[in-house]
Structures are given as structure tokens and as C-alpha cells.
Structure 1
Amino acid sequence: MTSTDELLVKEITVSRQSSGEERRLALHQIYVQVLERQPYAFERKQLAKIEADFLRNKIGVKRFLRELGHSEVYLNAFYYNSSNPKFIELCFKHFIGRAPSDQAEMRRYCDILMRQGVRDMITALLDSEDYSRHFGCFTVPHAWAEASYPSPRTFWETEVLLHELHGRRGWIVPTMVWHDLQLNCDGGSCRLPEPSLSSAPSSRTAAVISGSEALHQVLSTMGPQDLAAFAATLSTAERDKLRHLLMQSVQ
């Protein structure tokens, strides 16, 4: 598996002194980072104005990112088919270069998304301290070096996100949930692990409780449609196992 260090790109910074070729290189890398691909031909038409403004030095990197994040091209690709927590996780990957650090950070941005809307949530990410510290106004977002991550867990979850192909693990369950519950979500359909005979009962119980509490926190940020979509990723047997885990955590 490729490490994060191998995925780190050369830092690309664009200023008013940058050449046209440098701006075209930056534009290409922005699409790689944010869309995880280059735009399709019909999407290029939708993005034509902001592309032209960026290449003509009328707007900078941060303004272009905000316009791209607010565009139907980005929202169609990542927002409309995702649960709120999964979408926020993807926004962190695209605009901040890492996974959300913990449940508190996830809840904070879920609150902005639900109360103020998707465009305000993306703007809040671009105006965040993390974004300013790592990218300022002129640098294209990218994955950070390992030593910069807030915690080992954030590094691990960022590793997973960086290697996650577009939609590979579905559009509902964020990494921190299936990580805590040891779910296997490859292919977009989540499965709970079978009980391990080698696991010590006490440590397994502690892991179950910790994971279930994390799930409760994330589920509380989901609307009815998100919850229905999450349930649909599990078979009847998997839903029964999950219900049993959740009951254990509240006993």
C-alpha cells in the first residue's frame, strides 16, 4: 500500500507573479485534489468562467476553491448522494488534506451544514485556522506530512481516505464510524466483523462500547434519509448484530 508520503505532491503556490503555465499546472492539481479527477467536457462548460478568471489572474487559489466547492459540479459529485457526515469527511479530504480529527470536529461542521447550508460549511472550512496555517491564500491544498496530523488516529484515517477510490466505501458511513466498529465497507456495503475467539472478553467489550458510543454520536447528526440509507448498507443479519452491539453499549 502506498504511504501518505508517496502521495504528497510538490507544493504548488500561485501568486500574481505566477506565469500562465504555472496557473494551468495549479488548476490541474486543484481538480486532482478536489474532484479526484479532471472535469468532464460538460462540466468544463459549467466551470468555464471561474477557470478563465483563475487563469487570467482575476481570482486566486482560495477564491477558486470556494467557487468550485459551491458549484453544482462538486455538489453533484459528492454532496447529493452522501450522508452529511460522509460529505463532511470528503470535504476535509479535499479542502484540508486530512480526515476530521474527532467527533467534536465532525459535530461542529455537521451543525454548520444543517443550520446554515452546504455552501456556508465549505466556506467555514476554507476560513478555518487549519486551512490558513497550511495553505494560506495561495497554496493548492494537499495531504500533510505525517508529523503535522493532530493525532495518530487522524493520520490513520487520512491514510484510508487518501487511498479510497471515488465512492469505494459508499456514501453513507464515514471512516471514523467503520473504524471504531471494525466494519468492512469495501464495495459500499458494510459488514460487521465476526466475534474473535482469541480476543479477551474485557478488551472486546470495551472496544464495542467505545465504537457504539461513536456510532450514536454520528447517527445523531444524520437525518431520516441518511439513517435509512445507512441501514440499507447492512443485511438483515448485520442490522441485528449492530442492534445487539448498541444495546450492549447502553446497558
Structure 2
Amino acid sequence: MSNLKPVTVSRQSSREERQTALYQIYKQVLERQPYIYERKILAKAEQDFLNDKIGVRRFLKELGHSEIYLNSFYHNSSNMKFLELCFKHFLGRAPLNQAEIKFYCDILMYRGVAQMITTMLDSEEYRKAFGCFTVPYPRKQEFHESPQAYMESELLNHELLGRRGRSIPTIYWHQLGLNCDAGVCRHPEANEQVELSLSQEELAHLLKLLQSPQSSKTAANLSPQQKELLRRAIG
């Protein structure tokens, strides 16, 4: 999945080593380096990290709860797509299954975005994978739940921001019958001559259906026209 050497800091790390870790944190979580005005907002958290007052995990909480992260990924994405991005940024993989998505989606909807990110960073998986001082990275796991789970993590960890839209997470592209092997999803039998349109209201309704607890069943029961409308809207 990645040949990236994990970046870890400790109490003995120099300021230069912590600066390297900070660069890698932004690369992994923001998928870019902050703009000048954003550095001003993050100035206190950055200095606390560089001065060894807080570790990587604590800094990730500060960054994840900040408007900088939320403006980049939360406010302009569907809840489901945002969850997928959080898995990528903080756990270095794609969601495994619908049960995992539902667990974090319930926290997001009923306890808020900050608590959802905190729960992910406080999880046993995060602790075992990264501890308090290793920067999250695209993990090369020894075992995967399924070939699909492996493929989704491969695609997600290597795609550019917004490459496949900000509405539907990867796990549902498969349920919609799309081929994502090349990194860009296309339906193998799509008829380019079919003219279909999808209003904002129709799109919102279909996305709401996919975000329901029975989303897997819902996706399977979408009509051919509804599936085609979704493909055209997000393909």
C-alpha cells in the first residue's frame, strides 16, 4: 500500500525532527500544507507540539477539531464521505464494512463531529497502530477482511482529494455496480447517449437513503434509473 517509513517522535526528538513530523501530519491529514492564515490559527498547537508539550495524537485532535480541517472535509462533503476521509486520515485505511460505518455515523449524528474524531483517535486500533507519537500513514496491513476492503484502501489512500466526488464513499460505488479498478469509477455498461438529469432535491433524497441504517439494502433496491442518476451525478 505504501513504502512510506513511519515518522515517530519521542521526548528525545529534536525540534527539527518534530518539524518533519509536523510536515508529515499535514500531508496525511490535510493532504496539503496549511496556508499562511491557517498557520496563524494553528500557531499555539504547533508551538506546543514543537516544544514537546503535546504528542502527535493530541495535536491530531487539535487539528481534527479545528475549522481548518472541518472546512476542508466536513462542511463540503456528505456525512458518509466525510467518515471515509476520516478513516483515511486518522487510521490509514478505508472503512471495513457497513457496521463500522454505522458505529461512527451514529456518533457523528448524535454526539457531534468532534466526538466522532476523538473516538477514532482514542480507539484501540489507533493506539495499537500508532500510539501517541507516530504520525498516521497508509498502512500495509497483513490481513484484509476481503479483496474489496484491500482494493478500497488502495484506491482511497492514493487518490487525490475530490477525485471521486464528495458525496458517495467508495464502499457504495461497488453497490452501485461501478468499476473502480483504474482509480476512476465508470459503469461498464454506461450508455453515454442517455440523457438524465438529477435535481438537488433528488440527489439529497438518494443520499439520505444511503445514509440510513439499512443503507446496504437500500442501495441494492434502488431502481436502475436511480442508480444511473447517481452514477451520472458523482461519476
TM over 0.5: yes
Contact 2:19 2:50 in 1 (8 A): yes
Deviations 1:152-189 (A, max 9, x none): 3221101110121111111100000012223368xxx9
Q: Given residue 91 of structure 1, which amino acid in structure 2 is its aligned partner?
A: C
Displacement of 1:85 in angstroms is 0.7
Q: Does 1:242 align with 2:227?
A: yes
Equivalent residue, structure 2, for 1:220? 212
Q: Given residue 225 of structure 2, which amino acid in structure 1 is its aligned partner?
A: D
Percent identity between the two aligned chains: 60
d(CA) in 1 for partners of 2:209, 2:55: 37
Instruction: Could you tell me which runs of 5 or more consecutive residues in structure 2 were left unpaired when the two chains were aligned.
Output: 192-206, 215-222, 230-235
Regions of 4+ moved over 4 Å? 189-193
How do 1:30-41 and structure 2 match up within 5 A? 30-41=25-36
1:194 to 156, 166, 189: 189
Task: Specify the SS of the correspondent of 2:72.
Answer: helix
Judge which range, 47-56 or 143-152, deviates more.
143-152
d(CA) in 2 for partners of 1:242, 1:18: 52
2:67 to 59, 68, 72: 72
How do 1:110-149 and structure 2 match up within 5 A? 110-149=105-144
Could you say if the C-alpha distance between residues 38 and 163 of structure 1 is closer, same or farther in structure 2, counting changes exceeding 3 Å?
A: same
More helix as a share of residues: 1
1:178 to 161, 170, 173: 173
Displacement of 1:144 in angstroms is 1.2
Contact 1:69 1:122 in 2 (8 A): yes
Contact 1:85 1:221 in 2 (8 A): no
State the aligned residue count.
Answer: 204
Contact 2:94 2:153 in 1 (8 A): yes
Contact 1:96 1:142 in 2 (8 A): yes
Q: Given residue 38 of structure 1, which amino acid in structure 2 is its aligned partner?
A: Q
Deviations 1:40-74 (A, max 9, x none): 11111111110111001111000000000000010
Q: TM-score, normalised by structure 2?
A: 0.79
Equivalent residue, structure 1, for 2:102? 107
Q: Given residue 144 of structure 1, which amino acid in structure 2 is its aligned partner?
A: R
Could you say if the C-alpha distance between residues 241 and 114 of structure 1 is closer, same or farther in structure 2, counting changes exceeding 3 Å?
A: closer
d(CA) in 2 for partners of 1:220, 1:87: 15
d(CA) in 1 for partners of 2:110, 2:33: 32
Equivalent residue, structure 2, for 1:89? 84
Could you say if the C-alpha distance between residues 37 and 11 of structure 1 is closer, same or farther in structure 2, counting changes exceeding 3 Å?
A: same
Pairwise CA RMSD = 2.8
Could you say if the C-alpha distance between residues 148 and 43 of structure 1 is closer, same or farther in structure 2, counting changes exceeding 3 Å?
A: farther
1:57 to 52, 56, 71: 52
Displacement of 1:218 in angstroms is 3.5
Q: Given residue 210 of structure 2, which amino acid in structure 1 is its aligned partner?
A: V
Could you say if the C-alpha distance between residues 44 and 239 of structure 1 is closer, same or farther in structure 2, counting changes exceeding 3 Å?
A: farther
